[in-house]
Structure 1
Amino acid sequence: MKKILRSLLVGFSALVALSTLAACSSGTTNEATSTTSEVPTTSPATPPAFPQSARYVADMTSADGKTMTIGISVDGGEVAAYACNGTDDEAWFFGTQTDGKIDLKSRFRDTLSAELAGTDVEGDLTMNGVAYQFTAAPVSGEAGMYTAVLDGVRASWVVREDGTAIGVQLNGISGRDFEQAELQQLSDLQFRNEVRNKRQLQQAQQITRLANGAMSSKINGKDVTPTLVTGTFRLS
């Protein structure tokens, strides 16, 4: 009887030991599986966003010393930009911005590529084959781009934050008219020589601020009231 009882106790102890071992083994496996399945995730970076309405201005100098001034206006997704040297060259750019980036081409094949960098806009401008780099700071008040038209002549300006302005007047385009198919066949160099540089450009009259806050200037001796250019502005 004692032998039978002893055998039962040994068997019961062995069963308890096996159950405990299995439980521990199962717990370790579950913990390891749970640990390895917790893979950290990284949230995608949020692209920079322009303010709903903003204006930017910058002066720049090319590698060979040529100077240019640019104004950029953004309203929502719409963008308008104007660059000029104040004497005999200018370019208008129109389009949209996406995720804080701008990539535009003017009707005369000038290019503007820029993006929001903090509160500034950093970019590259190519005009008449000359490359410029710029960092345009945000401006307020009367600073920005302005334009006026009288008798088919257009004058345009960039007004800086300090109130100084630079502008160019477009009197027309000389040379022969090209069909659209012909224009597409011209190389960039041919296009600059045969079309772009045939524009009749001159320094615009100075733009001033009147006592009532309006801007004033002259085109060919006649008074005009320049209007502020917003991101939705487009040339007619």
Structure 2
Amino acid sequence: MRKPTRTLLAGVSALVALVALSGCTGNSAPEGSSPAEPAPETSTAATFPASARYMADMTAPDGATMTIGVSVDGAEVAAYACNGTDDEAWFFGTQSDGVIDLKSRFRDTLAADFNGTDLTGEVSMDGVQYTFTAASVSGVAGMYTAESDGVRASWVVRPDGSATGVQFSGFAQGDRNFDPFNLDELSDFDVRNEVRNTRKLGPAGPIEFLPGGQPRASINGVPVSPTLVTGTFRLG
């Protein structure tokens, strides 16, 4: 009677050992191999349409407001933000895989991602942060600019035809001379405090649209025909 019992116990012990060994080898990588790599993070950005325009009104935590327009044509991007009174920023560059990361001539920044429907992002202007979600727009909505006798007016137009715009009339240079179109050698601090804030800015006049959608406006009493800003537009 003892021999069968001993044989049965030996078999049970072998089975337990085999299960334990299987559990250990199943939870560890073979010797000399690398642990499994975690799945790479994937971007949530989507591909832009071939040509599109976006706009949004923005409010900073302190209550300051800005309006932004963005135009994309292929890889090319142009964007304009202004508050309708005394501040503006132009951004030019390219987008890659639905991601925009641009810096203005006066060191303002624009970062945004396209999610397939809207453009979401953040603008930093004169040290103030604005977040936005810009919807696609069509018709008369978009960015416009016009120039007369060295004075430039620019607008962001909403789908209902209302607009926010700023007029730029040059620089009020102080004690320090600078070339506003060649600022690469200046630090961000100097550009923001000694160049950016010397711009002569004020509210732009109204922009209107004829029945066919043709824009019209005036700069200092001179009639002008504003240009619709596309992604390939660049200021001189």
The alignment's TM-score, normalised by the length of structure 1, stands at 0.77
In structure 1, list runs of 5 or more residues that go unmatched. Answer: 1-41
Within-5 A mapping of 1:30-179 = 48-175=46-173, 176-178=176-178
Displacement of 1:90 = 0.3
- 2:183 and 2:81 map into 1 onto residues whose CA distance is 23
Aligned partner of 1:167: which letter? G
Aligned partner of 1:51: which letter? P
Distance 1:191 1:45, change over 3 A: closer
In structure 2, list runs of 5 or more residues that go unmatched. Answer: 1-38
- 2:192 and 2:137 map into 1 onto residues whose CA distance is 32
Instruction: Show CA shifts across 1:38-95 (max 9, x none).
Output: xxxx999686100000000000100111000000000000000000000000000000
| Match of residue 225 from structure 1 | 225
Identity across the alignment (%)? 64
Aligned partner of 1:220: which letter? N
Larger radius of gyration: 1
More helix by percentage: 1
- 1:104 and 1:128 map into 2 onto residues whose CA distance is 15
Displacement of 1:189 = 3.5
- Count how many residue pairs are aligned between Structure 1 and Structure 2: 194
Aligned partner of 1:141: which letter? G
Aligned Cα root-mean-square deviation (Å) = 2.1
| Match of residue 205 from structure 2 | 205
Distance 1:178 1:225, change over 3 A: same
Task: Assess if the C-alpha contact under 8 Å between 2:71 and 2:229 holds in 1.
Answer: yes
- 2:40 and 2:93 map into 1 onto residues whose CA distance is 30
Task: Assess if the C-alpha contact under 8 Å between 2:48 and 2:116 holds in 1.
Answer: no
Distance 1:43 1:202, change over 3 A: closer
The alignment's TM-score, normalised by the length of structure 2, stands at 0.77
- 1:137 and 1:220 map into 2 onto residues whose CA distance is 32
Aligned partner of 1:216: which letter? R
Instruction: Show CA shifts across 1:149-182 (max 9, x none).
Output: 11111000000111110100000011143269x9
Distance 1:68 1:162, change over 3 A: same
Task: Assess if the C-alpha contact under 8 Å between 2:47 and 2:116 holds in 1.
Answer: no
The ranges of structure 1 where at least 4 consecutive aligned residues each deviate by more than 4 angstroms after the TM superposition are 42-47, 182-187
